[in-house]
Amino acid sequence: MLFLVYILRVPLKINDNLSTVSMFLNTLTPKFYVALTGTSSLISGLILIFEWWYFRKYGTSFIEQVSVSHLRPLLGGVDNNSPSNSNTNNGDSDSNRQSVSECKVWRNPLNLFRGAEYNRYTWVTGREPLTYYDMNLSAQDHQTFFTCDTDHLRPADAIMQKAWRERNPQARISAAHEALELNECATAYILLAEEEATTIVEAEKLFKQALKAGEGCYRRSQQLQHHGAQYEAQHRRDTNVLVYIKRRLAMCARKLGRTREAVKMMRDLMKEFPLLSMFNIHENLLEALLELQAYADVQAVLAKYDDISLPKSATICYTAALLKARAVSDKFSPEAASRRGLSTAEMNAVEAIHRAVEFNPHVPKYLLEMKSLILPPEHILKRGDSEAIAYAFFHLQHWKRVEGALNLLHCTWEGTFHEVSVYPKKELPFFILFTAGLCSFTAMLALLTHQFPELMGVFAKAFLSTLFAPLNFVMEKVESILPSSLWHQLTRI
């Protein structure tokens, strides 16, 4: 009975509160509404300015980052983008293939050396050739591939773990030298070869020193990899380091004109670590084989990697189109083809170009030199403009070498319909758009309230009355349903 009385008293208290609120609203002056909307507009504007500054500096929304990093784990959310998915050893090929196939932004397999190549642009123009977003992705890659949980047990590796997180290039280089004073550290040599060496010859010399240190670490960790999870993680890191060093040494040989030596190094590396497809060494091999004009070997590599179960790339698609075009391009004539029709070989070449353009529609304009080439980024967006730049930067010479190939491409590519994408295009997070909309709305309310305070006061009262109308309706229904005598007794209680 007491519980029933308590339940019935709740609507009475709500009714009294609504009456009090109604009286309070009627006593408010227009100046109050002006101050209220002005304060709301100021606060939302400050939040918008802070969100925009944080987004420009770190590439993400502060509110979104806090909600994902702190609130989501408390609510039981699971992060599917765990960095552990990006590392793999020789027994994790299936999981690696699955995680790689879902990736959109890839590390450019043919990325240049920062010290020996990218810095030349800085010396000449005084501007940075890489965006902050691109370098931030590289920093994440370095921490993923070149560090592990046991680094704090070794002083040199602990220093390098901090070095990869440094934003200042000179701080990273100083940390690498500090690590080398303690021990022969392979990752320290890698950093110096990438960022301090001013020529490819210097970079190759440092990578050879890194190879010597990396092979020793790899052999030691290989013997202990089955002794626990920490040893297995350390072996995976040492494997990544060794593969990276050998791949970069092969690229140094290619840049220094020792192309056959580079091809051999790449083939040996792919045989030694066949399941580490995340480095895309086959794309380096394709470019080197094209330089040697070893088209039969190029076709053999394509037959292995141009598979439906593997992720495509502009290198694979356009190289396949180049080989098909090579068979007919020297004698191809648009006028003759329109009169007699396309032959089987010409049809195959046209279809291959169409497939390539469907995959990445940006490439033809760079190959046909309708758009100017720039230095390729360290990361590319599959099917985006950045991938087209990276491909054309290294493969334009191979298309020019095949007589008539660019002419066939020019006659064919415009017939392929496609949806154009752009990179790097960072869409604004929802919270920045929401805050901008909220700031604009409150600013408009503040302006209208300042210009028409009495009219906006009437609108505010009408809005609040409409907002509380459902509660008033419920109270009226309760009063009409309950007997008047019972209602009177409950009121007295």
The answer to whether 302 touches 283, Cβ cutoff 8 Å, is: no
Most confident of the ranges 58-67, 213-222, 454-463: 213-222
Amino acid at 439: C
Q: In the predicted model, what is the mean pLDDT of the chain?
A: 78
Q: Give kind and range of the element (H or E) at residue 391.
A: helix 385-401
Residue 170 lies in a domain: yes
Q: Give CA–CA dist 447/34, Å, rounded.
A: 8
> C-alpha 469: how far from its chain's center?
49
Range(s) of the domain holding residue 261: 108-292
Among 26-35, 42-51, 56-65, 416-425, the minimum mean pLDDT is found in 416-425
Residue 328 lies in a domain: no
Residue 252, Cβ neighbours under 10 Å: how many? Answer: 26
Residue 115 lies in a domain: yes
In the chain, the number of structural domains is 1
Among 20-34, 186-200, 232-246, the minimum mean pLDDT is found in 20-34
Q: Give CA–CA dist 155/160, Å, rounded.
A: 9
Residue 121 lies in a domain: yes
Is 465 a residue whose pLDDT tops 80?
no
Nearest to 237 by CA among 146, 110, 111: 146
What pLDDT is stored for residue 24 in this prediction?
58
Q: Give CA–CA dist 148/137, Å, rounded.
A: 18
> C-alpha 197: how far from its chain's center?
28
Peptide bond into 109 cis (omega under 30): no
What pLDDT is stored for residue 99 in this prediction?
40
Q: Which residues touch 31 (CB under 8 Å, ≥6 apart)?
A: 453
What pLDDT is stored for residue 386 in this prediction?
92
Cα-only R_g, the chain: 33
Locate tokens 């330089």: which residue? 291
What pLDDT is stored for residue 285 in this prediction?
92
- 434 or 217: which carries more pLDDT confidence? 217
Average pLDDT over every residue of 457-486: 69
CA dihedral angle for residue 378, residue 381, residue 387, residue 390, rounded to 10 degrees: 0
Residue 235 lies in a domain: yes
pLDDT exceeding 90 applies to what percent of the chain?
A: 27
Distances (CA, A) of 62 to 68, 80, 412: 10, 20, 47
Residue 131 lies in a domain: yes
Is 82 a residue whose pLDDT tops 60?
no
Nearest to 114 by CA among 204, 172, 190, 197: 197
Is 72 a residue whose pLDDT tops 60?
no
Q: Give kind and range of the element (H or E) at residue 235.
A: helix 229-255
Residue 398 lies in a domain: no
Instruction: List pLDDT tens digits, range 304-348.
Output: 876 655 568 899 999 999 999 988 887 877 777 677 777 888 888
Residue 403, Cβ neighbours under 10 Å: how many? Answer: 12
> C-alpha 271: how far from its chain's center?
30
What pLDDT is stored for residue 28 in this prediction?
61
Is 173 a residue whose pLDDT tops 80?
yes
Work out the burial of residue 217: count CB atoms within 10 Å of its CB; fewer than 13 is exposed, 13-18 middle, 19 or more buried: buried
Among 137-146, 213-222, 415-424, the minimum mean pLDDT is found in 415-424
396: which 2 tokens? 């334009």
pTM for the complete prediction?
A: 0.64
Residue 245 lies in a domain: yes
The answer to whether 60 touches 48, Cβ cutoff 8 Å, is: no
Residues in the chain: 493
